[in-house]
Amino acid sequence: MGQDDRSGSIGEGPGLPAQLVEALLLLCQGNFTYRLPRTLSRDNDDTVAFFFNAIAEELERLIKEARENETRMSMLIDRLSEALVAVASGDFSTQVERDFRGDPADVLAFLVNNTIVELAQLVADSDRRAADDRQRLEQLVEVRTRELQVLASTDELTGILNRRRILEVAAEECQRVARYPETLCFAMFDIDHFKMINDRFGHSVGDQALRLVSAAARSQLRLQDRMGRYGGEEFLIVFPETSLDGAARVTERVRAAIEALGLDEGSLSATLTISAGVAEVARGETLDDVLRRVDAAMYLAKAAGRNQVVRVPTLAP
């Protein structure tokens, strides 16, 4: 896939292009609060500033919302863990605090609370059958604990690992290769022009695109490979015991599988593509360092025209 053809220029003076480049650099560095000044003259410069500010505001909102949701989920997991510990110790008076938003996280707390109430009733009614009921209770708590662990580590939309869990997996693998002479690679990719897909088809179709991309990517991975949703349309793959060449080949298969997908909604259709970066973890390298390298490689793929895989040269030991 080649670069987009573009014509024309941004404004007539030298001011805005330089400001726009600086603003885009800040945006790439994670600064979503910067805004271009507006003249409200509705000329080319003002229009560019308007659209950049709108994009920056939406990105800032999405990042803030994602962070709030992550914090809220983290708090809920802590509350669930405390409740499970209390239940395991025989205290069935505990309840998980709810915020009554009615979303899946609140429903989960509601279900856990109902489960705790049901367990308390079982214990109250089982005085005559203490031994048998104790065994059933332990089994039920164990099942509920496994279910909660799955829910807490799974991205609700795509069914793959959520950001929290994939980063835990990545950290665990980095610790393992620090102890043993094994190779470890990461791949990071995101969906090209995903905002345009949302704008053109609507967010429900955008959600469908995320599910399709996740399923297509998983179909190309091995059992030991782990994939998670790193951000809105960003995904992270962990390749244990895999060379850089091997990880790049698998990532290329992922790219091709996704490109083969079709997105159709009525009279509108689009091709889904991704830009990906691949890097091998160097001896003694931290997780944050390798994530920065693989993220930079992904942006190089975008800058080179998208729909491609860029691999980072292995660092010297």
| Residue 206, H or E segment | helix 203-218
- Do 227 and 160 meet the contact criterion of CB atoms below 8 Å apart? yes
Contact in structure between 283 and 183 (CB atoms under 8 Å): no
How far is residue 177's CA from residue 241's CA, in Å, rounded to a whole number? 9
Assess whether 233 carries a catalytic annotation.
yes
Question: φ, ψ for residue 13 (rounded to 5)?
Answer: -100, 170
Do 210 and 157 meet the contact criterion of CB atoms below 8 Å apart? yes
Closest CA to 153 of 43, 262, 228: 228
Q: If residue 238 lies in a helix (H) or strand (E), which one and from where to where? A: strand 234-240
- What span, in angstroms and rounded, lies between the C-alpha atoms of 242 and 224? 10
Q: Which of 118, 138, 156, 233 is catalytic?
A: 233
Contact between residue 278 and residue 189 where contact means Cβ atoms under 8 Å apart: no
The two structure tokens encoding residue 50: 């308007």
Q: Which residues are catalytic?
A: 233
